[in-house]
Amino acid sequence: MGCDLRSDVGTCLYVSSGADPRVRGNRIHDGAESGILVEKQALGTFEAVWAERVEPLHDRVLEALLDNVEEAAVAEAQMARAD
């Protein structure tokens, strides 16, 4: 909690392979590739995480991704109820 995370060569915080971190109150900035990268069935709770220089497109892409995940979960729940 309260760490300053930056990267000159890649991603500031990489979460992978079933990891489930709790990231709270950190300053994540100046990532050469990205601020946070989550992949390979990883989870995580990211609270009060912010960046100084996030490209405007980044937030829109992340929001669209989360909307798609929510839509898929709702559709799967509806299919399960129909069975």
> Could you identify the residue written with the tokens 């405007």?
56
CA dist 9 and 26 (Å) reads: 19
The residue-averaged pLDDT of 29-37 equals 83
Answer whether residue 51 shows pLDDT above 60.
no
Domain boundaries, the chain: 1-52, 55-83
Q: What is the pTM of this model?
A: 0.50
- Quickly list H helices, 16-55: none
In the prediction, which pLDDT does 56 show?
55
Token readout for 11 is 């991603």
CA dist 74 and 69 (Å) reads: 9
Single-letter residue type at 8: D
Token readout for 49 is 């995480």
Answer whether residue 52 shows pLDDT above 70.
no
Position 46 confidence tier, pLDDT thresholds 50, 70, 90:
confident
Position 1 confidence tier, pLDDT thresholds 50, 70, 90:
low
